[in-house]
Every structure is written in C-alpha cells, then in structure tokens.
C-alpha cells in the first residue's frame, strides 16, 4: 500500500464544501452520503475510484466550507498501484470536473497525514472595495463598496497575531466545536492592490469560520464601527456573540499548507 499526496486547486462556487455530506468523521454515526450534495471530497474519491478501480478514502489538510476556494489544498490517500505520481496526476486531471485540478502528485511516507502532519496554513480573503460590482469577480471577492480605513485595520490585525484563545472567532456548530480554542496566528496582513484588499492570515490551525470572522471584525474596524483596541476585548470575552458578523464564504481561498 502506497501513500500519496496531492496538491489541489478548486473553484468552490459549485461545491457544498470539502467533506462528503452526512458521512461525518465518526463511522459509528452510520450516515450515508446525502444525494445531490456535490463536494470536493466526493468528486475526488469518485475520480480516484475510476482511476484505480478500487474505493479510495481521501484525507484533507482541512475542510473548506461551501463556496470557499483553494489554490493549494493538500489531500492524501493510500492505494495499491504501480502508477507513478505523474501518471496519477495526468489520469486525475483527465477525469476531474473542470472546476478541480491536481497541481502536483507525489509519493510520501506511510505516516504522512494531510491534516495532522500540517504545521501551518495560509488563507487569503479578497475584498473588492469600489463603488460598483464586478461580474468577473462575483464568486471570487466580497464586493464591499464602503470606504475603509486600512491603517486602522492593520492596527487591529496586530492584536490578533500571536497565541490567543480565539473562541470569540469560532462559529457555533456542535459537530465542529473544538475543546481547545487556542491557536497561534503567525502573520496577518492587510494589503491594497488597486480595487482589491487582500487579508492574508497564517496560523498553526484554524477554528470553524475563524478567518471569515476575523475578516468581519477587521471590516467593522475599517468602517469605524469599532476601534482597533477593542479587538483585545473581543479575544478576552471568548464569546462569539460579541464579535461582528461573519464575512461571506466566496472571498476566501486556501493558499498554502506547510508540513
């Protein structure tokens, strides 16, 4: 049995997230996948089964939500095959739907795990900040036609860097709630490029909708609805109800995973 690592790119617009719906992470639940729910994992496993003529279970570095994109999602799987990584990549790209692509395939050690071997991940959130919307960027960037104070947003971002309890930035979901909500944000930048504002965050791990909740807070600061220093109070509160609203999914993209 060989262990393979894939680097995937996908447009999340037409997917109900990464994970096959209804399967869950605990086989004791005994749920069958819901019909008609298109997921990245489901499409990839279906294509792998076609290529290898055997059922394949795929692991991912993290479960992207419905509408979230990936420029470099990492997945791993085990299979009995003599195919080379290059042959696997070519075969998958020939059969995967057009909104998915394998950027790289390689052999990895038997103990490599796409999720648990990861050291840090980087997400980028893109905001289209001008007075008129875009047809081309409608599913890639959050159209936000309000004046923003970027220096204030950058000051607020500094309060989120480092090791903190991010409970206030975790969306409520009993199935995805974490007992340990402490994470270390390595970097958080706010950069303007023309009409676009890119908010990029690197951390050793993320809670459910953590990045989108952080973006929502930074946008609130940018509009003057709260002061940068108030971010410290949000962290201290450890209560999602006191933080601003969640930014939409379609502006978010998983950019890299480091092992």
Which residues form the catalytic set? 65
For 221, the enclosing helix (H) or strand (E) is helix 210-222
Three-class DSSP category at 199: strand
β-pair type (120-128, 142-143): parallel
CA distance 141 to 249: 9
| Residues in Cβ contact with 128 at an 8 Å cutoff, skipping those fewer than 6 apart | 134, 137, 141, 142, 143, 144, 195, 196
Task: Classify residue 62 by its DSSP letter.
Answer: S
Q: Do 10 and 70 meet the contact criterion of CB atoms below 8 Å apart? A: yes
Reported residue count of the chain is: 259
CA distance 34 to 165: 34
Instruction: Give CA separation, 219 vs 28, 95, 138, 157, in Å.
Output: 41, 40, 19, 11
118: tokens are 């990861």
């Amino acid at each position: 049995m060989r262990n393979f690592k894939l680097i995937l790119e996908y447009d999340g617009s037409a997917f109900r997230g990464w994970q096959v719906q209804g399967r869950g992470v605990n086989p004791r639940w005994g749920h069958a996948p819901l019909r008609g729910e298109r997921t990245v994992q489901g499409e990839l496993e279906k294509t792998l089964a076609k290529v290898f003529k055997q059922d394949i279970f795929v692991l991912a570095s993290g479960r992207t939500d419905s509408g979230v994109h990936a420029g470099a999602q990492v997945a791993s799987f085990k299979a009995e095959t003599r195919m080379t990584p290059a042959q696997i990549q070519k075969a998958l790209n020939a059969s995967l739907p057009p909104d998915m692509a394998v950027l790289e395939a390689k052999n990895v050690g038997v103990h490599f795990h796409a999720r648990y071997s990861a050291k840090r991940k980087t997400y980028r959130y893109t905001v289209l900040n001008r007075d008129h919307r875009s047809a081309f960027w409608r599913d890639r960037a959050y159209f936000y036609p309000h004046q923003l104070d970027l220096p204030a947003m950058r000051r607020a971002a500094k309060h989120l860097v480092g090791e903190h309890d991010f409970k206030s930035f975790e969306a409520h979901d009993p199935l995805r709630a974490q007992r340990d909500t402490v994470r270390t944000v390595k970097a958080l930048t706010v950069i303007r490029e023309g009409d676009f504002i890119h908010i990029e965050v690197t951390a050793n791990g993320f809670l459910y909708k953590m990045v989108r909740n952080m973006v929502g807070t930074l946008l609130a600061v940018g509009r003057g609805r709260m002061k940068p220093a108030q971010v410290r109070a949000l962290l201290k509160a450890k209560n999602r109800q006191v933080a601003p609203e969640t930014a939409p999914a379609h502006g978010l993209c998983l950019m890299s995973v480091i092992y």
